Chains A and B, each alone.
Chain A
Amino acid sequence: MAFFTQQLINGLTLGSIYGLIAIGYTMVYGIIGMINFAHGEIYMIGAFVAVIVFVLLSMIGVGSVALALVVVLLLSVLITSLYGWTIERVAYRPLRGSFRLAPLISAIGMSVFLQNYVQLSQGARVKPLAPQLPGGVVLFEQAGFAVRLSAIQVFIWVLTFVLMAVFAWLIARTALGRAQRACEQDARMAALLGIDVDRTISLTFVMGAALAAVAGVMVTLYYGVVDFFIGFLAGLKAFTAAVLGGIGSLPGAVLGGLLIGLIETFWSAYFSVEYKDVAAFVVLVLVLIFRPTGLLGKPEIEKV
């Protein structure tokens, strides 16, 4: 039981991070119907910015953890948002109206480019970072196995939940959210009614990138290691999460992320660590075959 609880806690934490990344996929897919393949790299860049800023802050001697955390989060969100905006502007916007696979191929190119860009500028080696947010409690102890809940885990849960609520509110209640939903339904009609479609799409990318940045900062704090390749697998799993939850739905993305995180954690705890990545892909294939609309998604009708 103790072991199970511990895995549950770890799985929920991992799942929250996937969920944060998945929101970016789900929003972009919802509005322009493309898989933003470079989204995983955005998350990776967010994690790198976090490491760099932490190192810089410790060099100039900022002692306060809270202050450091706020600065890191702000800078990371700012810079990755800029990346999200630029990528959309450079690699996707010129392709609107091109043939079906063009944006996806462009996105793959962007992803390969960003990975190598970070590898060349920061080096291929794993970047370790000392734990920044210590603290935690032992929940209970059973048969010599202590169930731990660390401060960072609680922090990740709360942040994920709050961000999901804020973004769901943004989309449901604000003018920007209405514009986004309008573009999702019919971009041309939305444009006729005076919505700046390009700006709305740009903002969607910025929002997705900001959440990926938060996920990147969290993963840096949680695991303490970052390398240029983390975006690939995390992106793939987060996309799986978005599909599992139902693409286009924000709570669905977080739900899917939590499920993928739990599946992966329990799979490695009870079956095999080596094949944990296989588990996520198997789930993806099964969901796409048996329930392509996901858990909370709306059915999609393909029209001529």
Chain B
Amino acid sequence: MSVADTEIKSGGDRMAAALRDAGFAALVMFGLMALIVGVRTVDAEGKLGAEFRFDWVLIFCAAVFLGRLGVKLGIGSGVGSVLARPLGRLGGALTPYSQHIIWLGLGFSVALPFMPFADRYVIDVATAMLIYVMLGWGLNIVVGLAGLLDLGYVAFYAVGAYSYAMFAKLLGLSFWECLPLAGLMAALFGVLLGFPVLRLRGDYLAIVTLGFGEIIRIVLINWYTVTGGPNGLSGIPRPTLFGLPFTASPPDGVTSFNEFFGIDFNPTHRIIYLYFVILAMALIVNFFTNRTRRLPLGRAWEALREDEIACRALGINPTNTKLSAFAVGAMFGGFAGAFFATRQGFISPESFTFFESAIVLAIVVLGGMGSQVGVVIASFVLIVVPELFREFADYRMLFFGLGMVLIMIWRPRGLIAHREPTIRLNGGSAAK
């Protein structure tokens, strides 16, 4: 805390100082909230009127006063450390068992669709979470490994989704032909964007990628003839199992999944199938990332994050290395976009706003940048847990934003996971 605290001698002075400080905090809170929260503008007969809600302001001010007083009097050194430290300790304590936990989690995810509680809704949420896991792992390569802050990651997600939709609808390609194409298109966009901008410094890069994300969204909204404008594209073909569609009444000459296996039609089959395809894809992505981290390329990504000038001195080409990270990350985003399109059957620019980028970034940050397991846990926390509290859905983004700030302050290396460096100087390699 501040210098003033150390000079305080007696308990009475301490109390007075704490009261003064808390009073000041409450006063600031009042100033912040008095107009914005205390007065709500409402439509009244064609012009704006106002409602008053000063009770709320007073509640918040009192909360701030008590909270600040508690902190100052040393009742716990801040809520954050109280919350964050045990979590960090938990992360540390679990590290030796991480292998078991990973296998346990994997077993659970494979068995999930056959669990008694797994109805259509549960599997759907699990699929959504896996899409975010894929997005998180893709962005993890860019932000976590290569240290390039990409705020327009949603652009590649959008490119993947729209190219899947267009290839499937216009060219009539099947799911398995479209998926790699969607990934390729996204990677291509990654290279197209990356080539001019990757020489920029970290925070400039962030703003340019943010602008790129917005450009893609604006183009999607305005290019009616191809993208359907704000109405989006609907009727996107659903995935098939080697040409076997999951429909109750397949068109003539086509055998559907349930007919082929001689079982009753059940719409959940398609959802379960999609779930498994995404799970498999996510595992491949994870395997690929873990392997790449041990290649010279992966090492170069991490080295570049730590010190670009040193990398240049060692003969690593920063632009090419960054470009590869960008392209690989974009490709994973493209895959996730394709899954999103086929799961929804409908896409529109509304699904690809900056908030989506912020959510994926929050997943990566919360998980501890660079940690693969952390991304899974963070996706669970940010995607599945809000589903359990649906009535608070309006407050979701509020807590996202707050969470990002608090994590940066208390545990900038991630809330849950903690990642060992892939390689250490003394003591040889400690690849995970």
A interface residues (Cβ-Cβ under 8 A, vs B): 34-35, 45, 48-49, 51-53, 55-56, 59, 75, 78-79, 82-83, 86, 90-91, 94-95, 98-106, 108-118, 120-123, 125, 127-130, 232-233, 236, 239-240, 243, 274-275, 277-278, 280-282, 284-285, 288-289, 292, 302, 304
- Could you tell me the distance between the alpha carbons of A121 and B361 in the complex, rounded to whole angstroms? 25
Whether B207 pairs with A236 at a CB distance below 8 angstroms is yes
**Known interface pairs A105-B408, A108-B401, A122-B36; 14 further A-B residue pairs with C-beta atoms within 8 A, sorted by A's residue number:** A56-B50, A83-B32, A94-B409, A104-B149, A104-B206, A108-B361, A109-B362, A112-B400, A113-B402, A115-B401, A116-B395, A239-B207, A275-B218, A292-B200
B172 in contact (CB, < 8 A): no
Q: Cβ of A52 and Cβ of B203 under 8 Å apart? A: no
Within the complex, what minimum Cβ distance (angstroms) separates B413 from chain A? 9
Contact status of A128 and B401, CB under 8 A, knowing A101-B149, A285-B211: no
B361 partner residues in chain A, CB cutoff 8 A: 105, 108
Please encode chain B, from 32 to 52, with 1 for each CB lying within 8 Å of some chain A CB and 0 for all others.
100111011111000111100
- Interface contact A121-B47, CB-CB below 8 Å: no
- Contact B41–A98 (Cβ < 8 Å): no
Partner of A112, one of B196, B211, B404, B409: B404
Contact status A302-B309, CB under 8 Å: yes
Provide the residues of chain B in CB contact with A292, threshold 8 Å.
200, 204
Q: Contact at A112–B358, with CB atoms within 8 Å?
A: yes
> Is the pair A109, B203 in contact by a Cβ cutoff of 8 Å?
no
Report Cα–Cα, A236/B215, bound state, in Å.
Answer: 12
**A-B residue pairs, 10 tightest by C-beta:** A109-B404, A113-B401, A112-B401, A281-B211, A106-B408, A274-B222, A116-B398, A109-B405, A116-B397, A121-B37
Interface code B373-410, partner A: CB below 8 Å = 1, 0 otherwise?
Answer: 00000000000000000000011011011111100110
Known: A98-B412, A108-B358, A120-B398. A35 touches B207 (CB 8 A): yes
Question: Contact between B204 and A243 (Cβ–Cβ < 8 Å)?
Answer: yes
- Residue of B36, B200, B408 near A45 (CB, 8 A) is B36
- With A34-B203, A59-B49, A95-B409 known as contacts, the answer to whether A106 contacts B404 (CB < 8 A) is yes
Alpha-carbon separation in the docked complex, A292 to B207 (Å): 13
* Distance between B403 CB and nearest chain A CB, rounded to angstroms: 7
Tell me which residues across on chain A come within 8 A of B200, comparing CB atoms: 288, 292
Chain A residues, Cβ within 8 Å of B408 = 91, 95, 98, 102-103, 105-106, 109
Residues of B close to A236: CB separation below 8 A: 207, 210-211, 214
Residues of chain B lying within 8 A (CB to CB) of residue A125:
43
Q: Is the CB of A128 within 8 A of B197?
A: no
What is the CA–CA distance of A104 and B369 in the complex, to the nearest angstrom? 14
Q: Please, which residues of chain A bring their CB within 8 A of the CB of B218? A: 274-275, 277-278
CB distance from A100 to the nearest CB of B (A): 6
- Chain B residue numbers with a CB within 8 Å of A51 are 41, 48
Question: A86 to B197, Cβ gap below 8 A?
Answer: no
Interface size on B, residues (CB 8 A): 60
CA distance A53 to B39 in the complex (A): 9
Q: Which residues of A contact B40 (CB under 8 A)?
A: 121-123
Q: How far is the CA of A52 from the CA of B365 in the complex (A)?
A: 36
Q: How far apart are A275's CB and chain B's nearest CB, in angstroms?
A: 7
Chain A: minimal CB distance from B157 (Å): 17
Q: Which residues of A are found within 8 Å of B202, using beta-carbon distances?
A: 100-101, 104
Closest Cβ of chain A to B65, distance in Å, is: 15
Bound-state CA distance A59–B204 (Å) is 45
When the two chains form their complex, are residues B404 and A105 in contact, meaning their CB atoms are under 8 A apart? yes
Chain A residues within 8 Å of B207, by CB: 35, 236, 239-240, 243, 284
Which residues of chain A are near B212, meaning CB under 8 Å?
281
| B303-318 interface with A by 8 A CB criterion | 307, 309
Complex CA–CA separation, A191 to B268 (angstroms)? 66
What separation, in Å, do the CA atoms of A129 and B147 have in the docked complex? Answer: 45
CA distance A285 to B398 in the complex (A): 31
Within 8 Å CB of A117, what residues of B?
36, 398
Is B222 touching A275 in the complex (CB atoms < 8 A)? yes
Q: Once the chains bind, are B402 and A109 in contact (CB under 8 Å)?
A: yes
**29 A-B contacts (beta carbon < 8 Å):** A52-B50, A55-B50, A79-B35, A91-B408, A91-B409, A95-B412, A98-B408, A104-B202, A104-B203, A109-B362, A110-B401, A111-B401, A112-B358, A112-B397, A112-B404, A113-B402, A116-B401, A117-B36, A240-B207, A243-B207, A277-B215, A278-B218, A281-B212, A284-B207, A285-B197, A288-B197, A289-B196, A292-B200, A292-B204
Complex alpha-carbon distance, A292 and B199, angstroms = 11
Q: Is B31 interfacial (CB-CB < 8 Å)?
A: yes
CB–CB B398/A82 < 8 A: no
Highest count of chain B CB atoms <10 Å: which of A101, A129, A278? A101
Kindly provide the distance from the CB of A174 to the nearest chain B CB, expressed in whole angstroms.
26
A55/B49 contact (C-beta < 8 A), A79-B35, A122-B40, A288-B204 known: yes
B401 touches A35 (CB 8 A): no
- CB proximity of A93 to chain B, nearest CB, Å: 9
Task: Report Cα–Cα, A289/B197, bound state, in Å.
Answer: 7
Structural contact, A285 and B208, CB atoms closer than 8 A: yes
B114 at the interface (CB under 8 A from A): no
Give the residues in chain B near A121, CB-CB below 8 Å: 36-37, 40
Tell me how far the C-beta of A41 lies from the nearest C-beta in chain B, rounded to whole angstroms.
10
Chain B residue with minimal CB distance to A54?
B48
Across the interface, do B354 and A284 meet the contact criterion of CB distance under 8 Å?
no
Cα A275 to Cα B309 in complex, Å, equals 38
Q: Shortest beta-carbon distance, A117 to chain B, in Å?
A: 6
Q: Is the CB of B309 within 8 A of A109?
A: no
Instruction: State in angstroms the CA–CA spacing of A70 and B118 once bound together.
Output: 62
Using Cβ atoms and an 8 Å threshold, which residues of chain A touch B201? 302
Chain A residues positioned under 8 Å from B265 (CB to CB): none
Cα A130 to Cα B44 with chains together (Å): 13
Q: How far is the CB of A84 from chain B (nearest CB, A)?
A: 11
Residue of B nearest to A281 (CB): B211
Instruction: Report B-chain residues with C-beta under 8 Å of the C-beta of A275.
Output: 218, 222
Q: Once the chains bind, are B203 and A120 in contact (CB under 8 Å)?
A: no
**Chain B residues in 8 Å Cβ range of A108:** 151, 358, 361, 401, 404
**Cβ proximity bits B175-214 to A, threshold 8 Å, 1 near / 0 not:** 0000000000000000000001101111110111011101
Q: Kindly state the separation between the CA atoms of A278 and B217 in the bound complex, as whole angstroms.
A: 10
Confirm or deny: B108 has a beta carbon within 8 angstroms of a beta carbon on chain A.
no
Report if B121 contacts A (CB, 8 A): no
Q: Judge whether B222 and A106 touch: CB under 8 Å.
A: no
A296 vs chain B, min Cβ distance (A): 17
A82 & B31 in contact (Cβ 8 Å cutoff)? yes
Choose among A99, A100, A123, A277 the residue that contacts B214 (Cβ–Cβ < 8 A): A277
